[in-house]
Chains A and B, each alone.
Chain A
Amino acid sequence: MRQRVAADFAQARADLEELVRIPGCAFPGFPDEQIDRACQKVIDIYRAAGFPQVQRLDIDGGKPAVLAEAPGPPGSPTVLLYAHYDVQPAGDVSLWDSPPFEPSERDGRLYGRGAADDKSGVVIHAAVMRAFEGRPPCTLRVIVEGEEEWGGPFTDHPRSHPDLFAADAIVVADVGNARLGQPAFTTALRGMGAVTVECRTLAGAVHSGMFGGPAPDALMALITLLATMRDADGETVIEGIDGFDWDGADVDEADFRDIAGVDPDQPLIGTGSVASRLFSKPVVNVVGIDAPPTQGAVNAVIPEAKARVSLRVPPGLDAVAARDALIRHLESHAPWGVHVSVTPDVVGQGVRVDTSGPAYAAAREAMLQAYGTPVQEIGAGGSIPLVDSLLAAVPGAEILLFGAQDPLARIHAPNESVDLAELQRAILAEALFIRNLGSGVL
């Protein structure tokens, strides 16, 4: 298997390069034509990989997905393989060292928007099919979504079409290892919630010299309120949102600092292990504030101010309840008797994955075989709404999250890339997992 995957890898890379060249972005304002082209390219790749049935799956009010199926031997387990072909916008092209939609290899990494997130997942599934030369030991069903980054209606598709997603095991190839060559299952995803908090105190701005003092400044009130969300150590302290200590692998502090780009002179914040702070404790951040900029700021008491607050919810906690707890906190901690209004915004449920089933046993063994080292369990700070939806729609399935997006992949940022050796290992791991699961020996 190792040799077959190695021999086929040039094809996997060629598939990936062709996909990267198509800027298929599902965000409003981006052309549907590119989405259609990307969708057709996925169909072509899966047909060429030997899937006997490949079809475009139109999603009501959303972007098309691709469904590819290959039957396994009678009685073999069914494995659903998920990835998405849509990408984030490239952002500021001047920040890229090579054009975002022209694949470019440097130091063993292939650069380009989507090279990691998640066109790497798309080509992994195709390469696995080729590795079995058209005769997989399990029934394979691949679903490749076209609107993951945007968050379209596909997220609810499993709930409305549970039969389509019915499987014994589901592989979500849209994550990665904590470091290159060290295999990992992502077994916890934080949920998220967001709110907008607004404070109005005066009818208009007034001169701070003439009026400053008794007049409650809306920005100062908002700042004082927002400061109550964190304690002196930087821990998020909101009644009703409790985290827990992460019992999987820790995250190396030096690695984290490096990947996060933390200024060498500045400390990390919070308490507990880095992994706990990243995966299993709540975190609240202020991601935006509307206030006059410092440049050109006039000496005025500010009449109104607004902030967007983003909450990461510990996996296992209901994200709606957590967001409501945040709203209660903001409504009850405004200083000086000032009132604020809080508008709830999106939530995404977090996930804790059960890793005790047979698919996990097969995958654990596959990881050891592919990487030569035992697999870790890690969390992911960000939510993947589809995972929650899959868990609800297919309650009996084991869900496995792994892939080739290592922390240096810079997904969503300029200079996104995938490590080519890591991509090859991920293909091998997925192929071995399907072989192990199909052989039923584990």
Chain B
Amino acid sequence: MPQVRSDLERLVAIPSINFPGYDQSDVQRCAHACAELLAEAGAAPELIPSSSGVQTVRADIPGPPGSPTVLLYSHYDVQPAGDDSKWDSQPFEAEERDGRLYGRGAADDKSGVVTHIAVLRAFDGAPPVSLRILFEGEEEYGGDFEEWPTIRPEVFEDIDAAVICDMGNVDIGEPTFTTQLRGIIEGVVTVNTLAEPRHSGQFGGPAPDALMVLIKLLATLMDDEGNATIDGITGSDWDGADFPEQAYRELTGVLPGVPLIGTGSIASRLYSKPSVTVVGLDAPEVATAPNAIIPMARAKISVRIPAGVDAEEATEALARHVRTHAPFGIEVDFEPGPPANGSAVPVGGPGYEAFAAAMQFAYGVPSTQQGMGGAVPFVANLLEAFPDLEVLGVGAQDPLARIHAPNESIHLKELRDSIVAEAVFLQNLADSAS
């Protein structure tokens, strides 16, 4: 574990943010660091650049002749830190508090990177099955890698099971497979009405205020009960276990007295119905806002879509909604973001059983299944290209990991257990195959 932790600290220190406007050399640096760690663990990694130059780290480690081949996936790129002032410690300096290691990417998904490396080390570089390790650097923003299942099918054709280590358990110590993933679509809506700001006293009234237009438009995305109301994007009721409301409230940090929104079971709202958020909005700051009519306003809309809803069609539906619901006859611009389908993975195969047994061993309790609100476009594309492939969504990102938010962290004991589970899984799979 000390080595795992030091690996993770080393990776967290590299702000590998593959978003426009961020230093790409950090992304490169992180790819090299991943490759070095793999080499130290006994692999011979190669770096494969995408069209944008972002490198995927690949390592093939042969197992005994005739053994199955397992894909171990995670990603080394991270979300931007957001507002630094909301972090209790530096986002890119790992810091331990109460058994958790804090830092951007500590959970999502550098925990996955160090898990696979630790498993390789556990077998002294000679695993009982053949491994194909892939660390991508384009997960958070999108890029070529998610298309690999179609543009580089040969990388996946000989795979017997794929471990997607970018998930987590329903709670710490409760091993969980993530079997359904919501997709995600997004778009940026821009309202341009005036050449420049105008004094609200002199011009307020007839002058179309871009921010007011935007507000009226965004308000049409939800109904009075808080359900997403975008024509053409529908959901269904979740037929698995519900998510207990009290646990949800605690995990999400819903303030006392604040109601939950939407209708149907919590699990339906989390896994099988669309949900919409405005994740960013460009407007003057409150503290220094002059009394001005605003000439341009912009918002980024993000919609989670249930598995089974086509993300491209949903993006078109969102674009239609935005155009037809713009108020006052104002024309608005809509720039669609990359669509990502949700996915439902097959369960119950030999890989699943081997991993379930490994979880029982590692955690001491039986495993469960959950849906997941988030999208992993690569997984969706992998399943589309190889519908029968066993895809195992696991990891150490528990609900308190606060991924994508300030104070992201990983629970160190949970990380250890998930490494043990993955190692035992490989051994189980090798044993059952031979």
Residues of the A chain whose Cβ atoms lie less than 8 Å from the Cβ of B209: 269, 285-286
* Nearest CB in chain A: distance from B379 CB, A: 13
Question: Contact between A212 and B289 (Cβ–Cβ < 8 Å)?
Answer: no
- Interface residue? A256 (CB, 8 A): yes
Offer 16 A-B interface pairs, CB within 8 angstroms, sorted by A.
A200-B255, A202-B258, A206-B251, A211-B251, A213-B266, A219-B278, A286-B209, A287-B292, A291-B280, A292-B83, A294-B188, A298-B404, A299-B277, A308-B289, A339-B257, A381-B205
- Interface residue? A295 (CB, 8 A): yes
- Interface residue? A307 (CB, 8 A): yes
* Nearest CB in chain B: distance from A211 CB, A: 5
Known: A214-B262, A262-B207. A302 touches B407 (CB 8 A): no
Interface size class of A (residues with CB under 8 A): 35 or more
Question: Contact between B291 and A268 (Cβ–Cβ < 8 Å)?
Answer: no
B270-313 Cβ-contact flags toward A at 8 Å (1 or 0) = 10010111111111111111111111001110101000000000
Interface residues of A in 205-237 (CB under 8 A from B): 205-217, 219-220, 223-224, 226-228, 230, 232-234
Residues of the B chain whose Cβ atoms lie less than 8 Å from the Cβ of A299: 79, 184, 277, 279, 302, 374, 404
- Interface residue? A383 (CB, 8 A): yes
- Closest A residue to B201 using CB positions: A382
Chain B residues within 8 Å of A, Cβ to Cβ: 19-21, 79-80, 82-83, 86, 182, 184, 188, 192-196, 198-209, 211-212, 215-216, 218-219, 221-222, 224-226, 248, 251-255, 257-262, 266, 269-270, 273, 275-295, 298-300, 302, 304, 327-331, 372-375, 399, 402-407
Residues of the B chain whose Cβ atoms lie less than 8 Å from the Cβ of A288: 283-289
Question: Contact between A217 and B278 (Cβ–Cβ < 8 Å)?
Answer: yes
* Nearest CB in chain A: distance from B420 CB, A: 24
Interface residues of A in 362-384 (CB under 8 A from B): 380-383
In whole angstroms, how far apart are the Cα atoms of A266 and B253 in the complex? 42
Question: Contact between A261 and B194 (Cβ–Cβ < 8 Å)?
Answer: yes
In-complex Cβ contact of A297 among B219, B279, B288, B372 (8 A): B279
Question: Contact between B283 and A211 (Cβ–Cβ < 8 Å)?
Answer: no
Residues of the A chain whose Cβ atoms lie less than 8 Å from the Cβ of B224: 335-336
Known: A266-B208, A296-B82. A209 touches B373 (CB 8 A): yes
In whole angstroms, how far apart are the Cα atoms of A144 and B277 in the complex? 52
Question: Contact between A212 and B330 (Cβ–Cβ < 8 Å)?
Answer: no
In whole angstroms, how far apart are the Cα atoms of A310 and B399 in the complex? 40
- Closest A residue to B186 using CB positions: A299
In-complex Cβ contact of B212 among A211, A285, A301 (8 A): A285
Question: Contact between B304 and A209 (Cβ–Cβ < 8 Å)?
Answer: yes
Residues of the A chain whose Cβ atoms lie less than 8 Å from the Cβ of B195: 261, 263
Residues of the A chain whose Cβ atoms lie less than 8 Å from the Cβ of B188: 294
Residues of the B chain whose Cβ atoms lie less than 8 Å from the Cβ of A308: 286, 289
* Nearest CB in chain B: distance from A16 CB, A: 22
- Give the residue among B83, B200, B204, B278 with the most A Cβ atoms within 10 A: B204
- Interface residue? A338 (CB, 8 A): yes
Interface residues of A in 257-304 (CB under 8 A from B): 259-263, 265-270, 274, 277-278, 281, 283, 285-303
* Nearest CB in chain B: distance from A341 CB, A: 12
- Closest B residue to A233 using CB positions: B328
In-complex Cβ contact of B252 among A202, A233, A277 (8 A): A202
Residues of the B chain whose Cβ atoms lie less than 8 Å from the Cβ of A215: 252, 254, 260-261
Question: Contact between B205 and A278 (Cβ–Cβ < 8 Å)?
Answer: yes
In order of increasing CB-CB distance, the 3 nearest A-B pairs are: A209-B374, A382-B201, A288-B289
